[in-house]
Chains A and B, each alone.
Chain A
């Protein structure tokens, strides 16, 4: 272990992997400097921040040595927020809740049953988009008293540090550079949350500090998530358009370095336009499209999909049996969860109409509360993740989406408070717009 840290060994590694080593060194120095200055800027108590950073690193360490079953933690947190929002409910509820509830009842109670000899699917994950939508209709205008700024800024500042910590732990134990580090879950699941935090900071708090952008860029590059990178580049486009010319030039650097890193340093393993069909998510999508004979009319013949209890066709499952084993622990348990991406799974389970309806319902609620511009920005991380992992059925991605609503509501309330303390007017109308 300690041999991995000896100076000659590190020097050899440095010379052998010069591009990567220089890239990581620059990233490391820039990261530490930016984190330090941002902590100084946004947090009053430096000691408290350092203590929480230590706790976070300790958590990362515990997760590294002994992976904990944490996948239900985000859902637990969302459930607590939902409970709180229900008790404190004071907002209009979109009538679309009737559609969502009807779909939920239909899919849970009236989906075609599986064969009697087969195991049950993990259908709780499949119905999560509907549960999240119902929670959103109750909580989209909830007014949270404690400020969300520490969570938003803390996530953005701490996340790249935890990734470096994870890289360091891998280096210490196994002596290789971990190209897909993570904190507690998996990089694909964590990046949407960081992107949501960035949307909140840059577009809701209107804090266009370039250091935040650079930290998020470093996080996305380090995490090495393709769907996260796509979402990040999309958000970057909006971000750049909202900046001054000088800042645009500076902000283009991390985008260029992100692409350089992917193309020249990580090489063709992660992004290769010529071999796009080798990406596993593309393979599962193509597999499901093969089930429909690659014909759109055939997709339409299953208007509400095959339901949440059915397995994916055996011949398709055979072709990807490694995934079945990976997700369900059995080569023969062809749970649609093995398709990984929300898009492929929902196309099969819910049909094309519901697949299109779910993102639209999320977007409509966001548009109603925050306007189309912020709605578009806040849905990007979740939409991007839905092509790779759960997306709309993933607790962390939805948590980030919900964070945008709560932060926006808080920012609006603060703005109203400021304006009323100055003029004493508009309070009533401004509050009415909200509910």
Chain B
């Protein structure tokens, strides 16, 4: 096949031949240049670490209220139990910036502005657990105490919302199904499954990831810039492109 001809296209490129010796020589020669960039990355990381507030994570699981299910004619099914409202509705409650109460915002160390309301939505992670019968919530805010207070307020909000929805449902059901007594109807309130868990340490920013990542990015940037410089030089002085970089400069 045309393997030989296709691979020969490549010899026109500027990429120099590398050897391990050349790489080591290059690193030794350019050590100062590389270190400056790596150091700049490290300093940037330290700066970010210093100015970014330390966020803690509070997570909790709330079991949603339950009641009896209805069939399609609105008739109560004594043997069927239903989650009312489903965790999905509680999740939607936490995803709407306009629905937070003022004291919730205050407990989470946010003020009552649109920007802060949107920030709080972004600080909350909520998802349905256990097939929609529970809601798992994690909130990340600066400070351990704030995380605890914020979580407590959100729990109160979610439970109040869920119980109100369920009570409405029970009220309606009992009105329609006059032959059913309130006692024989399934009617459990929302409850916190386990106590709020606060993270052992700050979850954001992550110091090692930040510092190592930015240092490596600095090194990579230095190499990339040097490579661009090499490309520029070899375009202006084509004879240099045959040379192994760092071997005799």
Contact = CB atoms under 8 A, between A and B. Distances in A.
A86 B224 contact: no
B220 A98 contact: yes
Contacts of B31: none
B143 to A, nearest CB: 15
Contact of B17 (A90, A98, A318): A90
B223 A98 contact: yes
A433 B203 CA distance: 51
A117 B197 contact: yes
A242 to B, nearest CB: 8
Contacts of A101: 220
Contacts of B203: 113, 116
B176 interface: no
A314 B16 CA distance: 50
A271 to B, nearest CB: 32
B227 A95 contact: yes
Interface in B223-241: 223-224, 227
Given A94-B15, A105-B213, A115-B138, A433 B57 contact: no
B216 interface: yes
Contact of A318 (B2, B7, B131): B131
A109 interface: yes
Main secondary structure of the interface of A (DSSP, over half): helix
A76 interface: no
B200 interface: yes
A117 B198 CA distance: 9
B209 interface: yes
Interface stretch (B67-75, B94-102, B121-129): B121-129
Contact of B7 (A87, A203, A371): A371
Interface string B174-212: 000000000000000000000001011001101001101
Interface in B41-75: 57, 59
Interface string A351-395: 000000000000000011111111000000000000000000000
B176 to A, nearest CB: 31
Interface in A79-95: 86-95
Contacts of B1: 203, 371, 373-374
A334 B229 CA distance: 46
A371 B1 CA distance: 9
Nearest to B202: A116
A433 B204 contact: no
A314 B127 CA distance: 7
Contacts of B249: none
Interface string B8-19: 101101011111
A314 B136 contact: yes
B193 to A, nearest CB: 13
A110 B138 CA distance: 20
B58 to A, nearest CB: 9
A117 B18 CA distance: 46
Contacts of A110: 209, 213
A70 B122 CA distance: 43
Contact of B11 (A90, A314, A374, A433): A433
Interface in A283-304: none
A113 B216 contact: no
* Most chain A beta-carbon contacts within 10 A, residue among B19, B197, B199: B19
Contacts of B197: 116-117
Contact of B216 (A109, A117, A369): A109
B20 interface: yes
B248 interface: no
B114 interface: no
**Interface hub of A116, A372, A408, A432 (most chain B Cβ within 10 A):** A116
A102 B217 contact: yes
Contacts of B57: 115-117
What are the 8 tightest A-B residue pairs by CB atom distance, in nearest-first order? A109-B213, A371-B6, A92-B15, A116-B199, A371-B3, A109-B209, A116-B57, A433-B8
29 contacts: A88-B20, A89-B19, A90-B17, A92-B17, A95-B227, A109-B216, A110-B209, A110-B213, A113-B206, A115-B59, A116-B57, A116-B138, A116-B197, A117-B138, A117-B197, A203-B1, A313-B127, A314-B136, A315-B132, A370-B3, A371-B1, A371-B3, A371-B4, A371-B6, A408-B3, A433-B4, A433-B7, A433-B11, A435-B17
